[in-house]
């Protein structure tokens, strides 16, 4: 199979590229390198076709997608705070960009389209764990754009027969996640701070809870979504199905890194969901999904990866 991975030089995308190559697929990567990095693909670069282009430019997508059988659409402008600072940019990439890729996939005769959505679409929907049939009440522009993109996927499946699947990722973490960005995710940001003997900042009281999901579990889900007969037209929670608070996360990472540095607390950030926990039973049933790597093991692997690398300077 020939597979286009949009955002393939990014965090999740680079893991997907490695797995698809290992399974013997032909791989095309489309990335504008705004958040992705060429070095994420350095040791496999000779085995794939790379297009430096942008999903907001239809001609770039059309060029990269030609001849592809499937798409793993990971390209996005991540971060809730970034979307609050610049909602138009978030919409342009995450909603309009996804629509561009869907149109190109339809026109190129792509069979299966797997979209990286987000647990943020649940927003202020009450009740835990989150189940796919719950209404979505997104709080941030990022979440709104991801919700719109999900609906486009559903529409393209119903109208054009494109086998589109949406995977709602819950707080993915792991190796190659950028710790240096202003909008860095919490796990690499905490690790970076503890390594630098700098107190990490926890926004709010630290009792906010998340269902942190190791990246290899997300890769497993994508591989299953490429093949599963029941998947097209549906959305699936992809998570571990367990949650911890940010205070617990910080304490666990502090112990693994052997530091006495204590976090500091800042004001809670707008647009952030208070608690998140996934019901993954639908993904188990339709995709055969099982989170193979739990939180403790995933954090251990992530800490091991980052402590083997030189420190990065924050942007």
Catalytic residues: 142
- Give CA–CA dist 93/118, Å, rounded: 14
299 SS3 class: helix
- Give CA–CA dist 230/288, Å, rounded: 11
- Give CA–CA dist 62/65, Å, rounded: 5
Determine contact, residues 170/231, Cβ cutoff 8 Å.
no
């Amino acid at each position: 199979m020939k597979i286009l991975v949009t955002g393939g030089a990014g965090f999740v995308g680079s893991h997907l590229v490695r797995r698809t190559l290992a399974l013997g697929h032909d791989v095309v990567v489309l990335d504008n390198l705004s958040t992705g990095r060429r070095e994420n693909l350095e040791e496999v670069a000779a085995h794939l076709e790379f297009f430096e282009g942008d999903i907001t430019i239809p001609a770039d997508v059309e060029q990269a997608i030609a001849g592809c059988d499937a798409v793993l659409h990971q390209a996005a402008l991540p971060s809730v705070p970034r979307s609050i600072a610049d909602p138009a940019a978030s919409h342009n990439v995450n909603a309009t960009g996804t629509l561009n890729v869907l149109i190109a996939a339809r026109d190129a005769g792509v069979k299966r389209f797997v979209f990286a959505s987000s647990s943020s679409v649940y927003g202020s929907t009450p009740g835990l764990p989150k189940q796919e049939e719950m209404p979505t009440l997104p709080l941030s522009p990022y979440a709104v754009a991801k919700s719109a993109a999900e609906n486009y996927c559903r529409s393209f499946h119903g109208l054009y027969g494109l086998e589109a699947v949406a995977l709602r990722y819950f707080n993915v973490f792991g190796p190659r996640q950028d710790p240096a960005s202003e909008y860095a995710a919490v796990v690499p940001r905490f690790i970076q701070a503890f390594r630098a003997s700098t107190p990490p900042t926890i926004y709010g009281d630290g009792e906010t809870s998340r269902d942190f999901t190791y990246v290899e579990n997300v890769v497993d889900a994508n591989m299953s979504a490429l093949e599963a007969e029941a998947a097209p037209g549906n959305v699936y929670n992809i998570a571990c199905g367990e949650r911890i608070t940010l205070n617990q996360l910080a304490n666990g990472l502090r112990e693994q890194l052997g530091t006495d540095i204590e976090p500091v607390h800042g004001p809670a950030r707008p647009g952030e969901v208070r608690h998140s926990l996934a019901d993954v039973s639908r993904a188990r049933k339709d995709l055969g999904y099982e989170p193979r790597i739990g939180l403790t093991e995933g954090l251990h692997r992530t800490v091991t990866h980052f402590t083997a690398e030189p420190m990065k300077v924050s942007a």
